[in-house]
Amino acid sequence: MNSVVLALYGFAIFFMIFWLGMWIVHILAIIAARWKLHKKINKVSTYEVPLPGVSILKPLMGVDPNLYSNLETFFTMDYPLYELLFCVEDESDPVLMLVNKLIDKYQNVDTKLFIGGCCVGVNPKINNMQPAYESAKYELILISDSGIRMKEDTLLDMVNYMTDNVGLVHQLPFTYDRNGFSATFEKIYFGTVQSRIYLAADVLKINCHTGMSALIRKSLLDEVGGLKTFGTYLAEDFFYAKSLTDRGWKITVSSQPALQNCGNCEIHTFQARLKRWAKLRVAMVPTTILLEPLSECFVLGACASWSASLLFDWDSLVFYLIHILLWFMLDWTMLCVVQNNPLPINKLEFLFGWILSEATRPYLFLQAVLDPLIQWRSRVYKLKWGGVAEEVKAKVKY
């Protein structure tokens, strides 16, 4: 057997092992979802053991149709002690009028508004939040993106997971029910591939944290210089989570998923987010260049089908079709578990959205690798290996 044949068999064995590993990830994630998500909250505040106060940092920029209702859910939470710290970079931003309207409506809620930010790095989100972070009066900090919608007991659920050995509690990224195919497309992505990797990583204690809704111990950030320490990164959420795990602290996913409810929902803008996230992952974890495309359903199925044909003389087409069918069924199961309520879509809508999502992600990943610049709103950044970012002057595409 010559070297070429040996190499082919080596690749075939690798693809088959990787294929089996991805099915283990599928099953592990579904078990984790059923075990952990949507659990009943038992912890309540008592005189002897009061619930800790929470400072909620809300970085804002611009207004979308759902923003008012999203922000209002933070004023109506059933939690005894918290403050809302709104952060707005530009004093001419129309979001200020909206925030002031809510402050006037809910005068019983402890609220402060910070305008102008403070330049401590290249990350605009951290620059925007820095003054509020320095003024936060409670030990627990909740960093929450503008598009997040809260249930009355969401904050209580997150605090419930902040046990003595936990330094960070984050929510599984998901979406609130909205109308339209673009919303369906987003829900399918977050309820399938994102949930699968996120929950499996949580079980395996791998840092897969996204910062759209995260509860953190402020003292642990202060030990390394505070939030501004991570201003050199665009993926600040990954690096402050890494800072905690490197010091022996645990991070964990809470029971309730994060309900993203942005009012501007379009497929091309969401795909731009996917490409930006892919660029960040490649810069932070270079092995992503090889492993992430291989983990996609259609790509992995093709590789595994070729492997099965070579190793076991199985019909590659039949193997490929069965692979896609099983992947589809497990993704539908995962989405139903994460939703925990009747889905706003039927199986036919899911089929179309799922095929589009699975078919386009490898192409989007290739685009992300070939174009290293990251566009974030009106700014353009270049990433260095390790995730450090620098702002560059480039023509912004609209």
Residue 44 is predicted with a pLDDT of 58
366 has pLDDT over 80: yes
CATH classification of the domain holding 255: 3.90.550.10
274 has pLDDT over 80: yes
**Residue 63 domain boundaries:** 43-171+212-265
Sheet containing 389-392: give its strands across: 373-376, 379-383, 389-392
Q: How confident is the model at residue 381 (pLDDT cuts 50, 70, 90)?
A: confident
- Across the range 282-297, mean pLDDT stands at 86
397 has pLDDT over 50: no
**Percent of the chain residues past pLDDT 70, beyond the cut:** 96
**Lowest mean per-residue pLDDT among 146-160, 203-217, 239-253, 369-383:** 369-383
The residue among 230, 265, 300 that closes a domain is: 265
Residues 231 and 288 in one domain: no
Q: In terms of pTM, does the model score above 0.85?
A: yes
Residues 225 and 245 in one domain: yes
The verdict on residue 295 lying in a domain is yes
- Across the range 161-180, mean pLDDT stands at 96
* pLDDT tens-digit series, residues 22-48: 999 999 999 999 999 999 876 655 545
The verdict on residue 196 lying in a domain is no
49 has pLDDT over 90: no
Residues 162 and 17 in one domain: no
Asked if 277 and 194 count as a contact pair (C-beta separation under 8 A), the reply is no
Residues 11 and 51 in one domain: no
Sheet containing 148-149: give its strands across: 148-149, 258-260, 173-175
The verdict on residue 158 lying in a domain is yes
The letter for the amino acid at 328 is F
Asked if 365 and 292 count as a contact pair (C-beta separation under 8 A), the reply is yes
Residues 235 and 316 in one domain: no
Residue 395 is predicted with a pLDDT of 46
* pLDDT tens-digit series, residues 87-141: 999 999 999 999 999 999 999 999 999 999 999 999 999 999 999 999 999 999 9
Could you please report the per-residue DSSP string of 199-224? HHHHHTT-----TTEEEEEHHHHHTT
- Across the range 44-70, mean pLDDT stands at 86
Positions marked catalytic = 237
Mean pLDDT of the residues in the chain: 92
- Across the range 72-77, mean pLDDT stands at 98
Question: What is the enclosing helix (H) or strand (E) of 158?
Answer: helix 154-160
Asked if 191 and 245 count as a contact pair (C-beta separation under 8 A), the reply is no
* pLDDT tens-digit series, residues 313-328: 999 999 999 999 999 9
Residues 19 and 136 in one domain: no
Local structure of 310: helix, strand or coil = helix
Residues 364 and 225 in one domain: no
Q: How many structural domains are present in the chain?
A: 2
* pLDDT tens-digit series, residues 203-254: 999 888 888 999 999 999 999 999 999 999 988 999 999 999 999 999 999 9
DSSP, res 77: -
Residues 90 and 239 in one domain: yes
The verdict on residue 181 lying in a domain is no
The verdict on residue 119 lying in a domain is yes
The verdict on residue 204 lying in a domain is no
Token pair 């029971």 is found at 255
Tokens matching residue 92:
């001419």
Could you please report the per-residue DSSP string of 323-335? HHHHHHHHHHHHH
Residues 126 and 247 in one domain: yes
- Across the range 172-183, mean pLDDT stands at 96
Residues 227 and 337 in one domain: no
The verdict on residue 87 lying in a domain is yes
Closest CA to 234 of 206, 177, 273: 273
